[in-house]
């Protein structure tokens, strides 16, 4: 079974480059499950229901998010529009599971692929250099206790490489893949850990690379040079789609391969 995990889509340039490539990558590899981190898909800040629908139309099965999930207020209503056991699109947009209890939305989605394979996608966010999360390692243990599917993909949205690598080891042999997001720079450390968990510290942004992690570089440079506040805008130049292609055994959930993908125009 092949799973495609697309790294953080950033703005319209990110959506455009993913639309250009996702179809042929899925077709050439007979991908059965597509997961996209969408938290920067709306101009770099959050995701709107309309853009979520656009990404589902492109072939996404599940959309993950992170620290920017609340940036677009209209998403709250979308997330809250379905009950926990729904399989509708709004239920397939998940937010970090280790947020404070009671916030809108859900941190795990459990579904079945077209060919009948049960899977789960878990969204977790790091605690190092990040705000508003509970211990992601303990949260992961609690969540895994309640999942029946063998194929389990974890999006670990984190700032610190150490915390992300540690999560890979923590979940090795218990999930199919631990894929890092948030830092927008792909890391060259993709591997299958000894217990059969595919791991990559950061899958990388799907967005404009002539930028500072997606934002117009002149605006960011101005802030670094002067310390003055200023509005950030999504860049457009040199878009690339970054993704990880995972091969696993659907019966055991164990991964046998992970391939790093970076495709430009
Ligand atoms: Fe993020």
Ligand 1 geometric centre to CA of 157 (Å): 6
Annotation says 182 is catalytic: no
Say what the pLDDT of residue 48 is: 98
pLDDT digits (tens, 9 = 90+) for 109-156: 999 999 999 999 999 999 999 999 999 999 999 999 999 999 999 999
pLDDT digits (tens, 9 = 90+) for 180-218: 999 999 999 999 999 999 999 999 999 999 999 999 999
Determine whether 247 is exposed, middle or buried from the number of CB atoms within 10 Å of its CB (0-12, 13-18, 19+).
Answer: middle
How far apart CA 206 and CA 181 sit, in angstroms, is 11
How far apart CA 255 and CA 196 sit, in angstroms, is 5
Ligand 1 geometric centre to CA of 19 (Å): 21
* Mean pLDDT value of segment 223-248: 96
How far apart CA 153 and CA 108 sit, in angstroms, is 10
Read off the pLDDT band of 224 (50, 70, 90): very high
**Pairing label, strands 239-248, 198-200:** unpaired
Say what the pLDDT of residue 27 is: 98
* Set 21, 68, 157, 182: catalytic member: 68
Residues with CB in 5 Å of ion ligand 1: 66-67, 182
In order, the DSSP letters of 23-87 are HHHHHHHTEEEEEEE-TBTTTTS---HHHHHHHHHTT-SEEE--TTTTSSTHHHHHHTTS-TT--
* Mean pLDDT value of segment 225-248: 96
H helix intervals, 60-187: 74-79, 136-144, 161-171
The 10 Å Cβ neighbour count of residue 31 is: 20
pLDDT digits (tens, 9 = 90+) for 59-99: 999 999 999 999 999 999 999 999 999 999 999 999 999 99
End-to-end, the C-alpha distance of the chain in Å comes to 28
How far apart CA 17 and CA 149 sit, in angstroms, is 32
**Pairing label, strands 118-125, 151-157:** parallel
Say what the pLDDT of residue 30 is: 98
Say what the pLDDT of residue 222 is: 96
Ligand 1 geometric centre to CA of 114 (Å): 30
Ligand 1 geometric centre to CA of 162 (Å): 16
């Amino acid at each position: 079974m092949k799973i495609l995990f697309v790294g953080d889509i950033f703005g319209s340039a990110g959506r455009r480059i993913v639309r250009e490539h996702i179809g042929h990558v899925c077709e050439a590899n007979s991908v059965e499950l597509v997961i996209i981190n969408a938290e920067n898909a709306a101009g770099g800040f959050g995701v709107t229901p309309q853009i979520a629908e656009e990404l589902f139309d492109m072939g996404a099965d599940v959309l993950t998010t992170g620290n920017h999930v609340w940036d677009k207020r209209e998403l709250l209503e979308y997330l809250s529009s379905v009950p926990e056991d729904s399989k509708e699109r709004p239920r397939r947009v998940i937010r970090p599971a280790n947020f404070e209890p009671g916030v809108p939305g859900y941190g795990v989605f459990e579904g079945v692929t077209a060919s009948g394979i049960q899977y789960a996608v878990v969204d977790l966010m790091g605690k190092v250099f990040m705000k508003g999360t509970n211990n992601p390692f303990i949260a992961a243990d609690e969540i895994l206790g309640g999942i029946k599917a063998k194929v389990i993909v974890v999006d670990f949205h984190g700032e610190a490489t150490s915390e992300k690598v540690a999560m890979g080891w923590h979940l090795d042999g218990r999930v199919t893949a631990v894929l890092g997001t948030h830092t927008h720079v792909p890391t060259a450390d993709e591997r299958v850990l000894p217990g059969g968990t595919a791991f990559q510290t950061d899958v990388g942004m799907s967005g404009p690379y002539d930028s500072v992690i997606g934002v117009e570089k002149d605006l960011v440079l101005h802030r670094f040079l002067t310390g003055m506040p200023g509005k950030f805008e999504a860049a457009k130049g040199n878009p690339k789609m970054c993704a990880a292609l995972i091969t696993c055994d659907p019966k055991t959930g164990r991964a046998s391969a992970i391939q790093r993908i970076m495709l430009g125009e």
